[in-house]
Amino acid sequence: MRHIAARMGWGWLGLLLAFSGFGQSEAVYPIIPKPARLENRAGRFVFTNTTVLQIPATRPELRTIAEHFVHQLHAASDLTVRIQQTTETASANQQIRFEPVADARLGDEGYRLDISPATILIEATQPAGFFYAVQSLYQLLPPAVFSPKSTSFSSNWSVPACRIDDQPRFRYRGLHLDVTRHFFPVSFIKKYIDLLALHKFNTFHWHLTDDQGWRIEIKKYPRLTQVGGWRKETLIGHYYESEPQQFDGQPYGGFYTQDEVRDVVQYAKSKYVTIIPEIETPGHALAILAAYPELGCAGGPYETATKWGIFSDILCPHEKTFSFLQDVLTEVMALFPGPYIHIGGDEAPKTAWKKSAFCQRLMKQLKLKNENQLQRYFTARLDRWVSAKGRRMIGWDEIMDGESPAARVSTGAVVMSWRGTAGGLKAARQGHDVIMTPENYVYLDHYQGDRAQEPLAFGRFTPLEETYSYDPVPADLPVSVQQHILGVQACVWTEYLKTPEQVEYMAWPRAAAVAEIAWTSAEQKSWPDFTQRLPVLFQRLDFLQTRYARTYYAVKADPVPQTDGRLRLSLSGSEPEIDVRYTTDGSVPGVESSRYDQPLLLSRPTTIRAVVVRNGRVLGPVQSWDFAVSKAIGKSLQLATPVTRPKTAEASMLIDGQVGNTVGYLEEMQGVAGVKTANLSATIDLGEPQPVQQVTIGLVKATAGNILLPKTVEVAVSEDGQKFRTVKTVALDPTERGKKAIIRQTLTFEPVRSRFVRIIARNVGKVPAGMPKAGQDAWVMADELTID
C-alpha cells in the first residue's frame, strides 16, 4: 500500500496516524450519503476470527452479498468471518445477522442497521436493502478495509455502535459516463460501477454513441464500429485553444463487443445498478452517418468528428432511418434488460432539415409548422416504438421542444433536464417523469478549482460546494408535481478526459455530493457535516486506488491593492483549524515552510506558492500565483471605452496586481478585460509626479475568438492629465495566429517624471483579410498593466 499513499499525495505515516485515530474523530460515522436517521450509541463491535455472519436459509440470494463482504474483509485484514444459515447454532457473541422483514416503510432499498458491541443486526425487505446496509457497514469500518491486500493497519477492525434507519429520498440516483469522446476499458467501467454502488447510486447512464465515435457492437450494422467507431485524429486542447486548430494526427477508436456489454450488465446487476444505454438521435450522429451516409439528408460524404461541439448534419427522418434505429434498438434492448432506453435528442441543429426537400414535404404532409415540430415527430415515433416493446424512453429536455398536436410524446416518456431546471419542471407539470441533471450543478466535467491550476477541463466552473447545494425539488413545487421528479443524475462528459485517472479526478468527490443529494433528505443535508466526512472519504478512495480532486483544501488568495503601491495579500483555507504554509522563492511549500499568520505586504513582483497543512501532513494541492506589483497598484484608472468582455470584467482588474489567464471559454477568462472595435486606452493617475521608464501590458491573443493583438501599443505621459506626449510606440502584428495566450509586451524608454501615464492598445477594428473571420469585429483585450 505504500505506493498507493505516495501516488495519491498522503504520506504513508500520515495515513497510519489518521487511521489509528479513526473512531475518535468528530466524523465517527463517516457514511456518504448520510443516512436518514442515525442514533449514536456507546461501544464498538470488534471483528475477530470467531465472528459469524448468519443469513436465512430461505433467502439464498443474500449469500452473494454476505460472501462479498467477508471476502473483502479477509483480503484487507486476514480475518475470517464464517457464513452460516440461521438454522445453524452460533456462538452467543460476535454475530452479524441478516433478517428479512415485512416493513413497507423501508421500501425496496431501505434498511435498518443495529450495531451493539455483541451483534450487528441488518434488516431489510429486499436484497437491495441488505446490499446498501453492507455499503454503510463498509464505510463505518476503517478505510483500509478497501485495501486490495492485507495491510499493516494495527488497530482493531471494528465499527462504532449505532442504530441506522435508512431509505433513499429518490428512486432514481444516477451517474453518467461518456465513452464516445474518449473510450475506456471494461475494467474501468466495472470500477466506476463499484464506486457508484458504494455510494448508493442505483443507475449507470452509459453514453455509447455520438459524433466522435460509436462504441457498441451492432451485428446487423457492422460498419457502425468498423467505420463509425474510429476517427482519424483528435483536437488538441479547447475548441478555441488555437487558430488554426491543432490535431494530434493519431487515429482513435474502440468499441464494446456484445459479450463485453453482457458481462458489464451482469456485473452491474450484482451491484444493484441498472444500466441505461444511450443511442443518440437525431443529432450527434456523425459516427452513424460516416458508416451509413444514406441516413443523412445530403447523402454525404460524412466523417466521424475529430473535434467537439455541435454539427449541422443529423439523421434524416426517412423511413429507412426509422427502420435502422428500430433494428439497432432491438439489439440494444436484448443486451440491456432495464426499463429505460435513452434516445438522446439534444443539440440537433435543423440546418440540414431546412435544406432538405424531403423534410419540407414531410412537414407539409404532417402539418408541422417548423423543424422543431419535426424533431418532436421524430421523437414521438421512437417513443411509440419503444413503448410497444415494453420499455420507457428517456430523452434530453429538447424532446419537449416543438410541441404539436400532430407530434405528441407520450407522458410515459421520461425527460432528462440538463439545460438548467426549467425544462424539467415544465415537463413534470405536464405529467412527465423527470430526472434532474442541470449542467450548472451536476456536470462533473466542469472545472472545480482555480482554472489556471487545474487539469484541462470543460470551460465552466462548478466547485464542490455548489454541487452539494443543489436540491432537485424546489420548495414551492406542488406535491402532485414533486412525485414526477424521479431523482437526480450527475454527468461526466469526456472531451478533455483521456484516461480513467482524469475521469476519477473530475468525478470525485463531487459524485459523493450528488450521492447525498440523491439519497439524503433535504432536511438532513448539511454542508459543514459533509465536509467533516470528506477526510475519511479521501482515505477510502486512496485505498480504492481512485484518483480524486482535493480542491476543497485549496488555498484561496485575496490580493487587495494599497494606496502606497503595495499589495496586501490574504491567504485562507477552507476550514479555520488548518494551517496555510507558503513560499516566495518558487520552491514547493510543505509542512516546514513559512506559516501564514497575517496578511503579506508585497512591494515587488512576487510568486507565492501555498498549501494547506493539518496535523503534520499536506491536505490540498499546491497553489501558485504571480503578482505584478508596480507603481500602478492602488492608483486611479480611467478607460476611454468601458470594457465589455468578459461580462464580469471591470477596469480595476487591469491594475489589481494579479496576473490573469485565458483558461476555459473566452467568456470565462480570468483577470482580463477588453473592448470591441475600439482602442483600449487606459490612463493611470499615479497621484503625484514620479520617475517612470517602463510599462508592461499583458495582451490576449485568441484569434479563434477574434481577439487580436493590437496594431500598435503606445505610452504617453502627462503632468496635468490634459496634455500628453508619446514616449514610446511599438508595432505588433494583429494577424499573428497560433495558440491562445497572454503576451507580455514591455515598453522601455528614457526616464521621465510624470503623474499621468496613458497606455493605448490600438485596435485593428476589423479582422484583417486573409484570416478565417475576415471582416468581423476585432477585440483588444488586456491583462495586468504595470508601471516602473
Please pick, among 108, 331, 347, 668, the residue that the annotation labels catalytic.
Answer: 347
Global pTM?
Answer: 0.94
- 204 within 8 A of 243, measured Cβ to Cβ: no
- Give the residue with greater pLDDT, 630 vs 91: 630
- Give the residue with greater pLDDT, 211 vs 150: 211
Specify the pLDDT at position 550: 97
pLDDT > 50? residue 496: yes
At a CB cut-off of 8 Å and minimum separation 6, what does 535 contact?
18, 25, 27
Q: Please give the Cα distance from 266 to 274 (Å, whole number).
A: 10
pLDDT > 60? residue 154: no
Please pick, among 123, 178, 210, 278, the residue that the annotation labels catalytic.
Answer: 210
Specify the pLDDT at position 22: 38
Q: Residue 100's closest CA among 47, 143, 64, 61? A: 61
pLDDT > 70? residue 91: no
Query: pLDDT class for 151, splitting at 50, 70, 90?
Result: confident
pLDDT in tens, 200-256: 999 999 999 999 999 999 999 999 999 999 999 999 998 888 999 999 999 999 999
Residue 523 identity: E
Residue 626 bears catalytic tag: no
Question: Average pLDDT of 668-694?
Answer: 94
At a CB cut-off of 8 Å and minimum separation 6, what does 268 contact?
193, 204, 274, 275
Q: Please give the Cα distance from 548 to 550 (Å, whole number).
A: 7
> Across all residues in the chain, what is the average pLDDT?
93
pLDDT > 50? residue 16: no
Q: Please give the Cα distance from 289 to 51 (Å, whole number).
A: 60
Least confident among 272-281, 606-615, 640-649: 640-649
Pairing of strands 209-210, 567-572: unpaired
Query: pLDDT class for 566, splitting at 50, 70, 90?
Result: very high
Q: Residue 550's closest CA among 588, 582, 616, 506? A: 506
Specify the pLDDT at position 155: 60
* Edge-to-edge order in the sheet of strand 37-46: 37-46, 158-166, 111-115, 119-124, 95-100, 52-55, 82-85
Q: Please give the Cα distance from 781 to 519 (Å, whole number).
A: 46
Pairing of strands 37-46, 158-166: antiparallel
Q: Please give the Cα distance from 397 to 344 (Å, whole number).
A: 9
Residue 61 bears catalytic tag: no
Q: Please give the Cα distance from 166 to 592 (Å, whole number).
A: 45
- CA 764 to chain CA centroid, Å, is 38
| Residue recorded with cell 491583462 | 783
Residue 217 identity: E
Question: Average pLDDT of 565-570?
Answer: 95
Residue 71 bears catalytic tag: no
pLDDT in tens, 101-127: 999 999 999 999 999 999 999 999 999
Q: Please give the Cα distance from 774 to 759 (Å, whole number).
A: 27
Following DSSP, what letter does each residue of 56-99 receive, concatenated?
Answer: -TT-TTHHHHHHHHHHHHHHHH---PEEEETTS---SSSEEEEE
Q: What is the dihedral of CA 501, 27, 531, 418, to 10 degrees?
A: 70
Helix (H, G, I), strand (E, B) or coil at 716: strand
Following DSSP, what letter does each residue of 238-255 receive, concatenated?
Answer: STTSEES--B----EE--
Hey, what domains does the chain have and what are their CATH numbers? 28-166 (3.30.379.10), 172-519 (3.20.20.80), 554-627 (2.60.40.10), 636-787 (2.60.120.1190)
Instruction: Give just the sign of the alpha carbon dihedral 349, 355, 358, 359.
Output: positive
pLDDT in tens, 310-361: 999 999 999 999 999 999 999 999 999 999 999 999 999 999 999 999 999 9
Least confident among 37-41, 287-291, 496-500, 646-650: 646-650
pLDDT > 70? residue 263: yes
CA-based end-to-end distance of the chain: 53
Please pick, among 199, 238, 284, 432, the residue that the annotation labels catalytic.
Answer: 284
pLDDT in tens, 574-597: 888 889 999 999 999 999 999 999
Q: Residue 537's closest CA among 199, 115, 74, 35? A: 199
pLDDT > 80? residue 87: no
Element (H, E) at 206: strand 203-207
Verify cis geometry, omega within 30 degrees of 0, for the bond prior to 710.
Answer: no
Specify the pLDDT at position 239: 87
